[in-house]
Amino acid sequence: LALAMLVLAGCDSSKILPSDALNVLDPKGTAGEKSLDLIYFSIAIMLVVFAIVMAIFIYVLVKFRKREGVTLDRSKYKDHNTVLEIIWTVLPIAALVALAIPTVKYTFDLAEVPKGDDVLVVEVVGHQYWWEFKYPKQGFKTAQELHIPVGKKVHFKITGTDVLHAFWVPALGGKMDVIPGRVNELTLDAKKAGLYHGKCAELCGASHALMDFKVVAEEQADFDKWLAKMSAPPAPVVTAKEKQGEEIFNSSCIKCHAGMDPKRQGPDLTKFGNRQSIAGVLKYDEKNLKAWLKDPKSIKPGTKMEKFDFLNDQELDALTQYLMNRK
């Protein structure tokens, strides 16, 4: 059974995601590499302990097994052995100290706040059930998709608005608690360009498992292009259909999506057309966007987003068009 579980645990997720998108054992950043070092080091210590305990266990099983004609002389039993007791007290302490030294060192290394113009600062806000990413220096915010430049330190200031969440990018490192009213800090970097998967790692409600985000790590030039795209004014509304979509947006969606209703804060959709996913879990296309608008709770149970099932097909079409052109 254990072997079967081991084999099943090796299931390949690369058909739905790039193979390194969610892999703690194949880190793509400094923090992830340090975590993996600690994982290997603690497994090595555990294997040594396991081997010693098993060796003693097997020795005792064989040596003192019940044999025909041999009765154990209980009068020879000892109730005390100072040397042995010292050994089995000192050895575990030594193992724990050996584990603690690199753990404490790495913890302090990773908590260091990087300084300089070269550091990208991103403010992360966890919401039920989506992620908001603010780029304070660049002056814009986005949701569900975090872009970072390869080879640069990214300093995250992490907070939340409702319940506890946890910010985790398995391939890069983490995780860090999201606590409303408190700002936690975390520094990550990506050594290789790629698309990495981010997860919420703290049970936060019905759609905890769907509270995903993407990390797009890209070369500096591509990252600069993305920054320029995000900082530029939104594309003008041209066609009559888009104008109709804009009217629907301004009469319904804007209440939550421009932060006018503090209890129902939705993601900023100014540059929605640059996204790669819908609600962080669906592929970005027209069909999925319509499905989301019609019945978001069927896709993400517990989401604060309301149904837009009162729109007719033509209106839904116009709204979809308007949103997808927000580039």
* Least gap, CB of 282 to ligand CUA (angstroms): 18
Q: Mind giving me the DSSP string for 71-122?
A: ---GGG--S--HHHHHHHHHHHHHHHHHHHHHHHHHHHHHHPPP-STTPEEE
3-state SS assignment for residue 15: coil
Nearer to ligand CUA, 148 or 166 (CB): 166
Using CA atoms in the order 139, 145, 149, 150, what is the torsion angle rounded to 10 degrees? 170
CB of 202 to ligand CUA, least distance (A): 5
The dihedrals phi and psi of 226, each to the nearest 5 degrees, come to -65, -45
Q: Compute the least distance from the CB of residue 130 to ligand CUA, in Å.
A: 9
**x-marked contacts with ligand CUA along 145-184 as a string, rule CB under 6 A:** --------------------x-------------------
Interface pick for ligand CUA out of 211, 278, 311, 319 (rule CB under 6 A): 211
Measured from the CB atom, the residue of 120 and 210 that comes closer to ligand CUA is: 210
CB 295, CB 163: distance < 8 Å = no
Q: How far is the CB of 199 from ligand CUA (least distance, A)?
A: 8
> In angstroms, what is the minimal distance from the CB of 205 to ligand CUA?
7
Instruction: Determine if 143 is a binding residue for ligand CUA (CB under 6 A).
Output: no
Smaller CB separation from ligand CUA, 173 or 280: 280
CA–CA separation, 122 vs 158, rounded Å?
Answer: 9
318 in Cβ contact with 248 (< 8 Å): yes
Contact string 110-129 vs ligand CUA (x = CB under 6 A): ----------------x--x
How many chain residues are in contact with ligand CUA, going by CB under 6 A? Answer: 9
Binding mask 186-205 for ligand CUA (x = CB under 6 A): --------------x-xxx-
Burial of residue 160 (CB within 10 Å: 0-12, 13-18, 19+) is: buried
Q: Which helix (H) or strand (E) holds 176?
A: strand 173-178
Would you tell me which residues interact with ligand CUA (CB under 6 A)? 126, 129, 165, 200, 202-204, 208, 211
